[in-house]
Amino acid sequence: MKNYSVLMIDLKNSRSYSIQDRNNLQNSILNSIKILNKAFKNSIKKEVEFSAGDEIQGLFTSPQSAYLYYRLFSIIIFPIEIHSGIGYGTWDIVMDNESSTAQDGTVYHNARKAIDEAKKSLEYSVLFYSSNKNDLIVNSLINSCNLLSFKQSKYQNNLMLLTEILYPIVYDNTILETEALKELLEFIQFEKKENLILDTNFSIEPAQIEKESFYITEGKKRGLSTQFSKLLGVSRQSVEKAIKTGNIYDLRNLTIAILKAMDNTQGESL
Q: Quick one: pLDDT at residue 197? A: 56
| Cβ neighbours, 10 Å, residue 224 | 20
Q: Which amino acid is at 225?
A: S
CA-nearest of 216, 215, 217, 219 to 207 is 219
Q: Quick one: pLDDT at residue 194? A: 46
Q: Quick one: pLDDT at residue 115? A: 97
Q: Which amino acid is at 77?
A: I
Name the strands in the sheet holding 55-60, side by side, starting at the edge strand that comes first in the sequence.
44-52, 55-60, 3-11, 82-90, 126-129
Beta-carbon contacts of residue 172 (< 8 Å; ≥ 6 apart):
209
Distance CA(106)–CA(89), nearest Å, equals 5
- Model-level pTM? 0.94
| Cβ neighbours, 10 Å, residue 87 | 30
Fold (CATH) for 3-150: Alpha-Beta Plaits (3.30.70)
The domains of the chain are located at: 3-150, 154-255
Q: Quick one: pLDDT at residue 101? A: 84
Q: Quick one: pLDDT at residue 56? A: 95
Q: Phi and psi dihedrals of 34, rounded to 5?
A: -65, -45
Chunked in runs of 10, what are the mean pLDDT values of the chain (270 residues)? 94 76 86 96 95 89 96 95 96 85 90 97 95 95 96 95 95 87 88 57 86 90 93 91 97 96 76
